[in-house]
Amino acid sequence: MARRPRHSKVVGRDQPPLGDSDASTSTENQRGTNPEHLIDRSSVRNGSKAQQEPIRPSHQDMTSVPLSETSLRGNPSISTRESIAWLPDPPFEDSSVVVLSSRSTSTPSALPSLLYLDLRLSLPLSTDSTVTWGFAGLRQTLQLEPLPRHRWYHIIDTTCDGMSDEGQVELVKDPKTGEDIEVETGIGRNPSTGAMQEYQEIWSEEPIPQGSNYTFLTSTADPETSKAFMAVLGSHALALSHEEGLPFQAIRMHRSSPDAAWMLVYKSSHSPSEPSAHSLEACLSALLSSPNRDIIKRGDRVELGGRTWTAFDAGIYH
């Protein structure tokens, strides 16, 4: 669906305002597993801060570090899921799953963390699909040896805001294709039953075009308190929100090439109480059509669709 988005403006740095966008938009990481390494899960809660205040994850092992004092390393990533198994049942795939992950923080005083958005839509994939599970938040790296171990904080979640889960990942060769795949194992809440259960997920990483820009935005300066997230990376764009008094909102868009128009894959129906001018769709459309997206930097405040967002990560993929 095409619409003329509101203008976007970077307001967090000393520079002149950006001009209006005239473009119209057609509305569309890494995890892995070995059954030997099963990890228990825990839970987390979140709260709200102001621009440039420290990120304050709820768990004591996550140290507060201001955005302005952290650097980012590595590359952002696009992960798609090949299968899931709720052990001891066999693997299956009932969803089209896309996870967009930012670069990771790098500071001596805190464990590395990144921002992620995870949206799972029912198959066959269409605009009539339903959200089988959706969540977004921070992923913290707990260890790298002998196998990487991560904790995913679900700051917003279709089932329960504030939960967290842990898993270990292992990179292996697919015996059929010879390609690298990631295997993730842990113990998590089965969304179909609500029970904690051992699981195994198989993930693959989607290539990202060199020279393409990427953006990860949160609705507050402290990601821990954010109730809305947006990310654009490669051929994918996701926007997820769970704001007070509103149902969980999700939008997924896709384009076939860097020069192609963005097409709507899925969007939740908007709540009548949500102003359309400030809707998640309006904000994402403004971001995608902005000619100024390539100048956004980490920590910038960006006006999109009548709302102010903060850039957790942004740059050019190399």
Percent of the chain topping pLDDT 90: 58
**Domain boundaries defined on the chain:** 2-28+210-316, 71-206
Give, in words, the CATH class of 71-206.
Answer: mainly beta
pLDDT in tens, 204-217: 999 999 999 999 99
Quickly state the pLDDT bin for 280 (edges 50, 70, 90).
very high
Give the residue with greater pLDDT, 176 vs 220. Answer: 220
Give the residue with greater pLDDT, 143 vs 4. Answer: 143
The two tokens of residue 252 are: 């997924």
* Contact yes or no for 64/222 (Cβ under 8 A): no
Q: In angstroms, rounded to a whole number, what is the distance separating the alpha carbons of residues 248 and 47? A: 18
Q: Which pLDDT does position 69 carry in this prediction?
A: 53
User: Is the pLDDT score of 41 beyond 80?
Assistant: no
User: Is the pLDDT score of 2 beyond 90?
Assistant: no
User: Is the pLDDT score of 79 beyond 90?
Assistant: yes
SS (H, E, C) 56-114: CCCCCCCCCECHHHCEEECCCEEEEEEEEEECCCCCECCEEEEEEECCEEEECCECCEE
Q: Is the four-CA dihedral 312, 222, 219, 308 of positive or negative sign?
A: negative
The residue type at 9: K
DSSP 217: E
Give the residue with greater pLDDT, 8 vs 167. Answer: 167
- Of 311, 258, 298, nearest to 73 by C-alpha is 298
Give the residue with greater pLDDT, 262 vs 4. Answer: 262
Average pLDDT of the residues of the chain: 80
Q: Which pLDDT does position 222 carry in this prediction?
A: 95
* Residues in CB range of 294: below 8 A, 6 or more apart: 213, 316
Quickly state the pLDDT bin for 272 (edges 50, 70, 90).
low
Percent of the chain topping pLDDT 70: 75
pLDDT in tens, 31-40: 333 333 222 2
**Range with the poorest average pLDDT among 6-15, 22-31, 127-136:** 22-31
Quickly state the pLDDT bin for 193 (edges 50, 70, 90).
confident
User: Is the pLDDT score of 277 beyond 90?
Assistant: no
Rank 9-18, 118-127, 170-179, 185-194 by mean pLDDT and report only the highest: 118-127
Q: Which pLDDT does position 248 carry in this prediction?
A: 94
